[in-house]
Amino acid sequence: MADPVVIATWPFGRLAVETALRALQAGNSALEAALAGAQAVEDDPAVRSVGLGGLGNALGTVSLDACIMDGRTLQCGAVAGVENIRHVAALAKLVADKTPHVFLVGEGAKWFALQNGFSLEPLFTPESIAEWAQKRPKVKDPAATPIMPAPTAADSHDTVTVLVRDAAGHLGGVCTTSGLAYKLPGRVGDSPIIGAGLYVDDEAGAAGSTGVGEEIIRIGAAMLMTEAMRQGKSAQEACDLAVQRVHAFAARRGVHPARVAFIAIDPKGNPAASCTERTEFQYAVARGNAIELRQAKPFAPKM
């Protein structure tokens, strides 16, 4: 039996790994532990990009996205565009557990939540409303919908992705977010997309993403990293490969690489992270009972 390993995105990922570690110590599975960690962040109103207190879209509405994946069975579930349901990661797991489907969206996902005992509640707080109003993009026509330009600010799309390897070597992962602040209503990023924001396979590894979702979707980041580990690359090499791919695709379009970051755990439990240039990315790691916050070094591939 090996020490359990938990890795989660951003400084608030420390809460996630602490919670996940306690869940593992209580006998929960890797996926259950990852879900507990993610839900702790969903419940924190101070985090403006996940769950309760998330910043709204261009109309001020808070909508949430999430997915989960079990590395033992490849069972996965996802929801997107869900309003007034706080624990969307748990809802995504319910999709996997109770339906033959993988992905539910919008009103259908909300209906499914209500049918299974979830409660409706407002997701905004006085503080999140004030921040949304203060930072809202200005438009000349007050009646027009403010549309964000191509996203660049890292503080408006800080997804929490939690990856867990338990003592038996099984992997589980969860990704949950309120998405890009001021996004067009209906916009969905990478976070609920299996293979983009998250992919987990006991035989290959676990990988997750955070940052500008459009760029992460474009490279199929989580699947790219997991398949790289399946082919024998280390977790660090897999994360760096994803960054390299973001740079390469940005160069083809003649734009600067977006601010994105990646985390991974290989089947042996080695965690790693990487990010694009101009991205200040910290992530939390728990191995055994030791918990630390690490700074990812931006990977600048030679073009």
The two tokens of residue 244 are 């390299």
Chain CA centroid to CA 287, Å: 20
Do 149 and 164 form a contact (C-beta atoms < 8 A)?
Answer: no
The catalytic residues are 159
- Among residues 174, 224, 218, 141, the alpha carbon closest in space to that of 8 is found at 174
Rounded CA-CA distance 135/123 in Å is: 18
Strand pairing category for 205-211 and 260-265: antiparallel
Rounded CA-CA distance 119/7 in Å is: 30
Question: What burial class does residue 117 get, using C-beta atoms within 10 Å of its C-beta: 0-12 exposed, 13-18 middle, 19+ buried?
Answer: exposed
Do 234 and 219 form a contact (C-beta atoms < 8 A)?
Answer: no
3-state helix, strand, coil in the chain (%, to 5): 30, 25, 45
Residue 242's Cβ-side half-sphere holds a number of Cα atoms within 13 Å equal to 41
Concatenated DSSP letters of 80-92: EEE-S-S-HHHHH
Do 201 and 45 form a contact (C-beta atoms < 8 A)?
Answer: no
Instruction: Give residues with Cβ within 8 angstroms of 140, minimum separation 6.
Output: none
Rounded CA-CA distance 272/219 in Å is: 19
